[in-house]
Amino acid sequence: MESYLFIINNAPYGDERPYNALRLAMNLAKREDTQVKVFLSADGVVCARKGQKTPEGYYNIERMIRLLAARGKVAT
């Protein structure tokens, strides 16, 4: 079994690091025999904030976090 840990410590909007990390985590989580965990730290905790107003041109980070959290793969 392969295991991956993503540590996100950037705010959800302003750069693409959280989006890219979550996109990769979501795709890896679809694989069999793969364990994916996401840990939100510092400004990254804001990624899980409910009711985000997504800036124009950005993906909704809250929705991505919610999909991973539904699978039990997000910790703050």
Tens of pLDDT, residue by residue over 30-46, are 888 888 999 999 999 99
pLDDT attached to residue 76: 61
Domain that holds residue 66: 2-75
Assigned token pair, 20: 């890219």
**Average pLDDT of span 47-53:** 90
The CA-based angle 27-25-43, given to 5 degrees, is: 150
The sheet carrying 2-8 orders its strands as 2-8, 34-40, 74-75
**Average pLDDT of span 53-61:** 88
> Looking at the 3D structure of the chain, how many domains does it have?
1
Here the CATH number for the domain that contains residue 38 is 3.40.1260.10
The CA-based angle 3-11-7, given to 5 degrees, is: 15
The answer to whether 23 and 31 are in contact (CB under 8 A) is no
